């Protein structure tokens, strides 16, 4: 997976937080504004409802007062049929809402007028008024508008009906009972009003696009209900039943019961509210509004706000990303610089930082690192150079030291000599020497205390002095005594040399030797076992001047072999810190084939055995082996 | 190589433990440097647990011996193991250093 850059991750995090904040803020704003707008809509709808109710009532009261006034005229002129017709004509003519009016006399009336009902109606198109006697065509005693008023003795409004015989219109009739002084019914005077105007009026009550208002009668019949509805067969209750919703049923019941108020409801998945209130005559007006309409503007506003927010967030993301990338750009450059430094370029260009912040600290650290590394590397170069110089000087010293050692013994059938010197370091403190002169073989082996350069200096002095005193042909004890005095002089460092030196007279087969604190040498007589030569213990050379050394004599018949060595051989250590030791060496040289070896083979065999024993363990002392065969 | 130095009234007792070789000779030299001066030159070195000495170690014993002698004191090495004693014998150091 590809890792996202720091700036991208940070930007996305900021985006996430800001988005959450925006969503929460927008939601809160939306919820509160929706609540406020809904309340405001309910309030304004209620106001509209009340205004509409009083508007309708004004008309109804006008109709009622017209009829009420006419009832007096009927009472006074009940015998004058002509005048009764005139009254109905006048009622229809004067009140524009009244399309028909009748004065239906009661059957029980004493004057015996049966089925007498003068009636006038207005042609809706022409406005012409025609009159007729309604009782001739129509048994009005059974009709609802008559019975209701006659039975109760009180004025009332009929349920809406479709006037087939009359105006061919949806009508409602206001019936007003005219009573005599004995409270006996004389007649019912009516006013038919067309519901058309009500329909128009109610249809005009539309606070919102999908709002509608409905005017219902006491029994829940629709007097007016928006537009294009079946007013005849449907009632408020049937509508509510269709909705199959208890809330709608409850609402219908409240409206029919003449209550006023506001109620929320759900219809066909749309939520809305209804405000409703009763008219004085038992009718009720209700206005329904869908929240969808109410909140339409608010929703539009919400969407616009959301779009603005999204655009804002995107712009912010862009700016944020660019800013952070700008801020973290130095990190990339630091990374490049670090890579360059890793490849050895300590002068790699660092980014220029102007801000005094953590990046500045990083810059300072980087700069310090560069400076430190540069200094360190230059110092290291100097040290390395010095080391190289020292090494080359040591190599020169080594070749000088090795140059001092004797190389080749002049060929002589009576003796052979071979030597090997391996210093533990470049230069060492071991030495050997030999010389053949007039059948006298002189030889010496020595080991300066310590090793390395200090030992090598003492070795050089000792070797040079040794050779010089040998050339003076001094007796062996004098030779070593002089050597001791020479080395002891000004020996501030308390260095000393253990030495074994000897001379063999090849004709007399006699060896004179002096052991100055050195390891005993191995003697291999021609016909006997090898042994360590016991010698008088003299003090090592260089410790006390004027020490009296003693020399000794050994018979060395032809075939005698001598092995001289330094403690680098017997004290060679293996990994288990075991020493090679005298016994191992003696066992090695006791092997029968050893007597067949020439001098070089003897030396090499011993050295190989030591190396085999140490198994690659670091050599910690100089090793010198000198083999002599006489 | 462990070196323990106890200064008593009459003498200084040094206890050596381990191998005295090239790698720790200079450390031993530092340890005994304070013993090469002062009014109380008598030194007894307990060599019971000394396993080995190199020629550099011998050199340091020699230095100590010379220092002690110059201040008219006595240096005594005690309980030396045979293989260590052998080195002292071969080099002739037994002749100049008092080994008990």
According to DSSP, the β-strands at B43-53 and B75-78 are parallel
B2-51: pLDDT as tens digits: 888 888 888 899 999 998 887 888 889 898 888 888 888 899 999 999 98
Judge: A516–B21 Cβ closer than 8 Å, yes or no.
no
Length of chain A: 630
Which parts of chain B are beta strand (E)? 2-7, 12-20, 43-53, 75-78, 98-99
Asked whether residue A594 falls in the same domain as residue A563, the answer is: yes
Q: Does residue A616 surpass a pLDDT of 70?
A: yes
Distance from CA of B75 to the nearest CA of A (A): 17
Q: Which residue has the tokens 């080995």?
A: B52
CA atoms of A190 and A195, how far apart (whole Å) = 15
User: Radius of gyration (Cα) for chain A, nearest Å?
Assistant: 70
For A161, residues 6+ apart whose C-beta sits below 8 A from its C-beta are A144, A170, A171, A172, A173
Residue A517 and residue B92: Cβ atoms within 8 Å?
Answer: yes
Nearest residue of A to residue B93, measured between CA atoms: A539
Cα separation of A525 and A556, whole Å? 7
Q: So where are chain B's domains?
A: 2-99
Count of residues making up chain B: 100
Query: Under CATH, what is the fold of the domain B2-99?
Result: Transcription Regulator spoIIAA (3.30.750)
Q: What is the pLDDT of residue A166?
A: 55
d(CA A139, CA A206): 41
Q: What CATH code is carried by the domain that includes residue A564?
A: 3.60.40.10
Q: What is the pLDDT of residue A430?
A: 93
CB A264 within 8 A of CB A272: yes
Contact yes or no for A41/A207 (Cβ under 8 A): yes
Q: Any CB–CB contact under 8 A between B36 and chain A? A: no
What radius of gyration, in Å, describes the C-alpha atoms of chain B?
12
A513 contacts A551 by C-beta, under 8 angstroms: yes
Question: With an 8 Å Cβ cutoff, are B58 and A449 in contact?
Answer: yes
Query: Mean pLDDT over residues A169-173, rounded?
Result: 81
Concatenating the DSSP letter of every residue in A11-79 gives: HHHHHHHHHHHHHHHHHHHHHHHHHHHHHHHHHHHHHHHHHHHHHHHHHHHHHHHHHHHHHHHHHHTTT
Residue A336 lies in a domain: no
CB < 8 Å to B95, chain A: 537, 539
Does A480 share its domain with A449? yes
- pLDDT band at residue A1 under the 50/70/90 scheme: very low
Give the pLDDT score at A491.
85
Domain for residue A444, yes or no?
yes
Residue A313 placed within a domain: no
pTM for the model:
0.55
**A463 lies in the same domain as A511:** yes
The residue among B25, B55, B61 with the most chain A CBs within 10 A of its CB, best to mutate, is: B55
Any chain A CB within 8 A of the CB of B81?
Answer: no
pLDDT at A167 over 70: no
Q: Which of B23, B61, B82, B91 is best to mutate for the A interface (most A CBs within 10 A)? A: B91
Residue A382 counted as domain residue? no
Q: Do A517 and B93 touch (CB under 8 A)?
A: yes
Identify the domain containing residue A100 by its residue range.
28-197
Contacts of A314 (CB under 8 A, 6+ apart): none
Q: Assess whether A484 and A573 both reside in one domain.
A: yes
- My answer on whether A51 and A128 are in the same domain is yes
Is the domain of A156 the same as that of A213?
A: no
Domain match, A190 and A224 both: no
CB contact under 8 A, A494 and B66: yes
| pLDDT at position A555 | 95
Percentage of chain A lying above the pLDDT 90 cut: 38
* Contact yes or no for B47/B84 (Cβ under 8 A): yes
Residue of B22, B66, B91 with shortest CB distance to A517: B91
A193-207, A231-245, A319-333, B26-40: segment of lowest average pLDDT: A231-245
- A164, A384, A403 from A390: Cα distances, Å: 138, 10, 19
Question: Cβ(A519)–Cβ(A498) under 8 Å?
Answer: yes
Q: Is the Cβ pair A539, B92 closer than 8 Å?
A: yes
CA distance A448 to chain B (A): 8
Domain end among A197, A224, A240: A197
- Any chain A CB within 8 A of the CB of B29? no
Asked which of A166, A197, A228 is the last residue of a domain, the reply is A197
Q: Is A504 helix (H, G, I), strand (E, B) or coil?
A: strand
Sign of the dihedral defined by the CA atoms of residues A278, A279, A282, A288, in that order: negative
Its ipTM equals 0.86
Confirm if B59 and A450 have CB atoms less than 8 A apart: yes
Do residues A30 and A139 lie in contact, with contact meaning Cβ atoms separated by under 8 Å?
Answer: no
* Domain stop point among A290, A309, A339: A290
Same domain, A600 and A563: yes
pLDDT at A162 over 80: no
Rounded Cα distance between A52 and A214, Å, is 11
Residue A388 in any domain: the answer is no
Residue A9 lies in a domain: no
Span A167-175, average pLDDT: 79
pLDDT computed for residue A276 by the predictor: 93
Chain B residues touching A519 at Cβ < 8 A: 90
Whether A409 and A436 have beta carbons less than 8 Å apart is answered as yes
**A529 with A613, same domain?**
yes
Q: What is the pLDDT of residue A228?
A: 56
Where b means 16+ CB within 10 Å and e means fewer, A516-541 reads: bbbbbbbbbeeeeebeebebebbbbb
What is the pLDDT confidence band of residue A135, given thresholds at 50, 70 and 90?
A: confident
Q: Where would I find the H helices in A191-295?
A: 195-203, 236-243, 246-256, 291-294
Same domain, A459 and A532: yes
Tell me the pLDDT band of A113, cut-offs 50, 70 and 90. low
> Would you say residue A454 lies in a domain?
yes
**Chain B: closest CA distance from residue A492 (Å):** 10
Q: Is B100 on the interface with A (CB under 8 A)?
A: no
* Nearest residue of chain B to residue A448 (CA atoms): B55
- The kind and range of the H/E element at A190 are strand A185-194
Query: How many structural domains compose chain A?
Result: 3
Element (H, E) at A275: strand A270-278
Cβ distance A451 to B89 less than 8 Å, yes or no, reads no
CATH number for the domain spanning A282: value is 3.30.450.20
Is any Cβ of chain A less than 8 angstroms from the Cβ of B55?
A: yes
């Amino acid at each position: 997976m590809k890792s996202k850059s720091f700036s991208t991750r940070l930007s996305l995090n900021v985006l996430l937080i800001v988005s959450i904040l925006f969503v929460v803020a927008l939601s809160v704003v939306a919820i509160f504004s929706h609540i406020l707008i809904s309340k405001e809509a309910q309030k304004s709808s209620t106001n509209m409802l009340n205004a509409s109710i009083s508007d309708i009532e004004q008309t109804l009261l006008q109709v009622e007062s017209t009829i009420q006034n006419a009832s007096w005229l009927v009472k006074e002129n009940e015998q004058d049929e002509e005048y009764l017709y005139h009254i109905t004509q006048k009622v229809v003519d004067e009140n524009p809402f009244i399309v028909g009016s009748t004065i239906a006399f009661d059957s029980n009336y004493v004057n015996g007028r049966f089925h007498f009902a003068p009636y006038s109606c207005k042609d809706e198109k022409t406005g012409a008024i025609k009159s007729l006697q309604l009782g001739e065509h129509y048994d009005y005693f059974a009709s609802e508008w008559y019975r209701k008023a006659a039975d109760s003795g009180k004025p009332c409004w009929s349920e809406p009906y479709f006037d087939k015989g009359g105006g061919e219109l949806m009508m409602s009739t206001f019936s007003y009972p005219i009573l005599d002084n004995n409270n006996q019914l004389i007649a019912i005077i009516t006013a038919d009003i067309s519901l058309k105007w009500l329909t128009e009026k109610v249809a005009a009550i539309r606070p919102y696009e999908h709002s509608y208002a409905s005017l219902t009668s006491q029994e829940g019949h629709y007097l007016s209900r928006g537009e294009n509805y079946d007013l005849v067969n449907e009632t408020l209750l049937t509508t509510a039943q269709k909705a199959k919703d208890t809330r709608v049923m409850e609402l219908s019941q409240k409206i029919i019961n003449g209550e006023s108020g506001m109620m929320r409801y759900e219809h066909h998945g749309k939520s809305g509210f209804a405000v409703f209130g009763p008219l004085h005559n038992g009718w009720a007006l209700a206005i329904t509004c869908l929240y969808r309409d109410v909140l339409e503007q608010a929703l539009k506003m919400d969407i616009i706000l959301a779009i603005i927010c999204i655009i804002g967030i995107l712009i912010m993301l862009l700016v944020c990303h660019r800013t952070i990338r700008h801020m973290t750009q130095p990190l990339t450059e630091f990374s490049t610089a670090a890579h360059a430094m890793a490849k050895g370029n300590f002068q790699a260009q660092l980014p220029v930082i102007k801000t005094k912040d953590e990046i500045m600290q990083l810059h300072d650290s980087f700069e310090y690192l560069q400076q430190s590394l540069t200094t360190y590397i230059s110092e290291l170069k100097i040290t390395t150079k010095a080391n190289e110089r020292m090494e080359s000087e040591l190599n020169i010293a080594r070749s000088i030291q090795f140059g001092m050692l004797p190389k080749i013994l002049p060929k002589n059938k009576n003796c052979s000599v071979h030597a090997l010197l391996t210093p533990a370091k470049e230069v060492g403190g071991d030495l050997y020497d030999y010389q053949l002169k007039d059948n006298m073989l002189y030889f010496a082996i020595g080991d300066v205390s310590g090793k390395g350069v200090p030992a090598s200096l003492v070795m050089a002095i000792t070797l040079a002095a040794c050779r010089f005193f040998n050339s003076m042909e001094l007796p062996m004890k004098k030779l070593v005594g002089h050597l001791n005095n020479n080395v002891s002089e000004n020996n501030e460092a308390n260095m000393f040399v253990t030495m074994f030196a000897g001379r063999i007279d090849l004709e007399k087969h006699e060896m004179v030797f002096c052991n100055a604190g050195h390891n005993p040498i191995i003697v291999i007589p021609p016909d006997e076992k090898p042994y360590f030569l016991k010698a008088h213990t003299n003090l090592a050379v260089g410790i006390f001047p004027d020490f009296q050394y003693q020399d000794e004599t050994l018979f060395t018949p032809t075939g005698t072999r001598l092995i001289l060595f330094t403690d680098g051989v017997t004290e060679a250590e293996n990994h288990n810190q075991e020493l090679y030791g005298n016994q191992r060496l003696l066992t090695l040289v006791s092997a029968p084939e050893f007597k067949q070896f020439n001098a070089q083979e003897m030396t090499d065999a011993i050295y190989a055995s030591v190396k085999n024993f140490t198994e690659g363990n670091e050599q910690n002392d100089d090793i010198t082996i000198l083999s002599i065969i006489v | 190589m462990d070196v323990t130095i106890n200064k008593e009234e009459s003498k200084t007792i040094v206890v050596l433990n381990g191998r005295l070789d090239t790698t720790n000779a200079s450390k031993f030299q530092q340890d005994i440097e304070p013993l090469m001066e002062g009014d109380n030159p008598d030194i007894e070195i307990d060599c019971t647990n000394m396993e080995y000495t190199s020629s550099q170690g011998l050199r340091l014993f020699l230095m100590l011996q010379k220092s002690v002698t110059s201040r008219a004191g006595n240096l005594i090495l005690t309980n030396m193991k045979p293989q260590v004693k052998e080195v002292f014998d071969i080099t002739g150091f037994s002749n100049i250093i008092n080994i008990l």
